[in-house]
Amino acid sequence: MAVEIAAKVKKATVTFTTQAREDASQATLTGEWDNWEVWTMKRNSDGTFSVKVNIDLGKSYQFGYSIDGVWTPDDGLPTVTSPFGTNNSILDLTETTAEAKKAAPKADRKPASRRR
């Protein structure tokens, strides 16, 4: 399982990818960032399932996958026990806020002058 984060100024495009059994028919993603809405994941040619989601930077979020109805945390991230007795993964987007601000272009930068 993997999570890739492409930080922007106020949001991150997060690609969630999870490995599933060969006979798995569906996978979904749900998380705190949008009040646990269900995201249908696409099956990839390598057998994984993935989906891209735009998420606000500056916070940590709990989330998990449902693979054929079985709640599954991302094994590459820390977990916390949910109120339902299952484990939720933790997606930490607090540190990427500073990184995104450093990478953002400065509004007061002047264009380079042209040589004549």
- Here the tokens at position 96 are 């990427």
Q: What are the residue boundaries of the structural domains of the chain, listed by start?
A: 2-102
Is residue 44's pLDDT more than 90? yes
Q: What is the pLDDT of residue 106?
A: 41
Which residue carries 């991150």 as its tokens? 12
Split at pLDDT 50, 70, 90, the class of 104 is very low
Please give the Cα distance from 109 to 56 (Å, whole number): 26
3-state secondary structure (DSSP) of residue 75: coil
Q: What is the pLDDT of residue 115?
A: 40
Whether the CB-CB separation of 45 and 88 falls below 8 Å is answered with no
Whether the CB-CB separation of 9 and 97 falls below 8 Å is answered with no
pLDDT digits (tens, 9 = 90+) for 84-103: 999 999 999 987 655 544 44
As a whole number, mean pLDDT of residues 29-51 equals 96
The percentage of residues in the chain with a pLDDT greater than 70, rounded to a whole number, is 78
Q: What is the pLDDT of residue 108?
A: 38
Is residue 24's pLDDT more than 70? yes
Split at pLDDT 50, 70, 90, the class of 10 is confident
Looking at the domain that runs over 2-102, which CATH code has it been given?
2.60.40.10
Is residue 41's pLDDT more than 90? yes
